[in-house]
Structure 1
Amino acid sequence: MPSPVSADRPAAQPPGRGSVEALITQTRRLKGDVDAVRRDTRGDGADPAERWQRAVYDLALHQLNDLDAHLAQLRDGPAPLPAVPAAPPAVPAAPALALPGGSPLSRVGTAEWDLLTDEATWSEELYRILGLDPDRPARTLDELPGLVLEEDRPTLTAMVTDCLVDAKPIDGEFRVVRPDGTVRTVHMMGEPVLGADGGTTSMWAVLRDVSELRRSQRTVSETRDSLHRHRRREPTDPRTVAQPSETVTPPWYGSLRLPHPGPAPLDLAARRLPGATVPPAGGTWYDALELSDGQLLLTVGDLTGPGPARPDGLAALLGAVHGMAMAGAEPGRLLTLLDELLGGTARPAPGGAVCCRYRPATRTLVWARTGRPAPLLYRGGTGRVLDAPGGALPGTSPGAGHAQSAVTLRPGDLLLLHSDGLVPDHSGTAAVDRLLGLAPRFDAARTARDCAETVAEEFGGAGREDEACLLVARVAG
């Protein structure tokens, strides 16, 4: 939209349509080249350097997709501002673009606040970004902080005050809470509009949702830190065994398309949350495996017992689990066989684990567990803990069997499996209630990866004591 800074200085004219089309063509060609290199360099995800490289490619694609959409909006031009702010017309939007993995692309919304009439005018895209009803009046500057996360309100207030009082440009970020409970990061740029006497008469702004971009940047930072830790550790350093999850990582990252023809029956994503304890008491893992009969095996857990959890020991354990599952062992029987396998050995054993077998044809989930964590099921904006079968810890009761339960899932259902460290014993039911309270945000999320990121944001803070991991599975509709 035009952005006059003063009444006697005309707004800059937009570039010609042909020159913008040329920029769009160049951007899309570069996007294709980056994506081609990204696909050619795709490894199995076990090497920290490969994970970092892939994260950087994903971030570059985020930014190029953003640039593509913004240039398209520049080419199409803004819709004229309405005379009546209660019914703003739609701003021509760029075509919806998606990153590999299904991440949504942020778009650009515009706003103008008239200080003389106390009226606000928003583009339709801004309503979508903030999750508000476009048939309702736009929020005034006094009402705007009510949409913002409480700890970010001083940031917004300072930006607006500097703009209106000192005529400073706006350029900053804050988080907004949408009516559905989701939290989005918004970047706001704007300037004051000055009247003939030099006083501020209104303020205009451009706002865009940069949540996915910031998440991608965090992933680059996390994988870079992981790579640095990996390179610092010497083979003889006893801390080498302190991070088994860095070495034994399932060969996939983020949203997963299982290798079978047709649509995937489950959208899967996982995260590992590092803890402050060094070295940790044991290792954590998450794993997904498609079996020969088309069923899916999902496991999450952590190790405990004598000695440290060496990466090769964790790999051997997962290999045994895979072999027994491929041979047809159901979750309860599998954990019983694992109990017999580990009985009497000095190897660490699962201290808390959940094993699930999903049958896509009937949407049946059969599961068993060791220790305390049970899967959480989210459906229709609410969540609950699945009724847990009994059973002892592997290695503690030789000959004891492990009971299993079954539940029929529905399209759109979401499962959350997590290791014991995510919800510590001393937290009681409060932390579980916090997990269940994420149901509205999960219901509004587009992908399993978005849900995994939500859990990481809520439970992955600097105050964590223990390492933990989680796996999210959404049933295809």
Structure 2
Amino acid sequence: MPSPVSADRSAAQPPGRGSVEALITQARRLKGDVDAVRRDTRSDGADPEERWQRALYDLASHQLDDLDSHLAQLRDGPDPAPAESADPPAVRPVPVGTPPGSLLSRVGSAEWNLLTDEATWSGELYRILGRDPAGPALTLDELPSVVLEEDRPRLTAMVTDCLVDGRPIDGEFRVVRPDDSERTVHMMGEPVLGADGSTVSMWAVLRDVSELRRSQRTVRETRDSLQRHRRQEQTEHRIAAELQEAVLPPWRGSLRLPHHEPPALDLAAHHLPATTSTLIGGDWYDALELSDGQTLLSVGGLTGQGVAVASNMTMLLGAVRGMALAGTAPGQLLAMLNQLLDATVQPALGSAVCCRYRPETRTLLWAQAGHPAPLLYRDGTGRRLNAPDGVLLGATSGAVYGQAEVTLRPDDLLLLHTDGLASGQSGSAAVGRLLDLAPRFGAARTAQDCVRTLVEEFGGAGREDDACVLVAKVTS
């Protein structure tokens, strides 16, 4: 291609071969680092944020590939245009090991002579446009014939601005190759002026940016998908939180039962949300004064997170309250809850513990369904109550749930909690941490003081699951 230089200025000297080699080495080293990080981010594609990160790595890799190919062409010089002869010119072979569609053939150049109406193309431009190197280069009047129809006005405006107003060309358009494939081309150029200051030719560098634009579209689409996913999560969190707030007793301060004066139980409860997830689980706690003067205490939870789980939790808690008010004993109540879950359209698994406290005799009748047993603290020590038989709710049809009874004393403290209270621990390890709090519970004046102790101990950052606690202290 003739020198793309205006008549009133001289050409800049190209960089030395050694300096270009150093840039190529740096670009390839950086691409290797990007590829290494990209390999470490492989996933099943289920997480929108991981898909977005992956797309960004792919985009960076494409751009570094582009940089590598441009530097290689700068080092090796432009690919010559095909010579005019009777025999078709040979196409420069692609280097061994270069994959199909390599970026090594994505930058071409052209010059259009306005005085002779001749066009000169580099061999790379023939490859980009899918043209036969044996054929003539397209003139400026013929060039729009390979451009997508809706992009032709853009190309015409760029060429007109360059030739009439002397403005540099910098824009993109899409071309349709003879095999009907579509490519996106970025064109940069400027007019070349003659001795009298008139425009004698126009030169341009054309770059195939199809893969780059495809990667950018992928980034945009995955980013938009991630934003939609986040908005959906925020909406689900808000709905689930509103469901919880609508059905759970208030936890700020002690739970006051309306008709016990003075109250037989000092009650306090708290919901500890997960800090590593924006979704809300299906845990609940409840304290309800019954018509016969007894008090219902219950905690439980459903597996999973989100609006559907929170909705099922509200259904289950409503059933617990209704059956308890009807006088159903804890064991039979859990059996009916199990039947309810078994009959729902969307099967679910859950666990629960239900207690009925009779203040006249200070007796606690309770049952459990695959749930941690209540903890009893007395005289500065704690122990776990012996649990009657009971399987998870929804695990099997027709399950039977046993009952146990324990007599409490004044100042006894009962702790009911859901799974996941001791984040990262379960079973005996979690129970051990709770029993170790016995001295602090013994020194506490109220049930709310005990709840504060539990929040201090288990409510920090890094919680993976929701949890609920309910503390009942016998006052008389």
TM-score w.r.t. the length of structure 2 is 0.48
Which one has the largest radius of gyration?
2
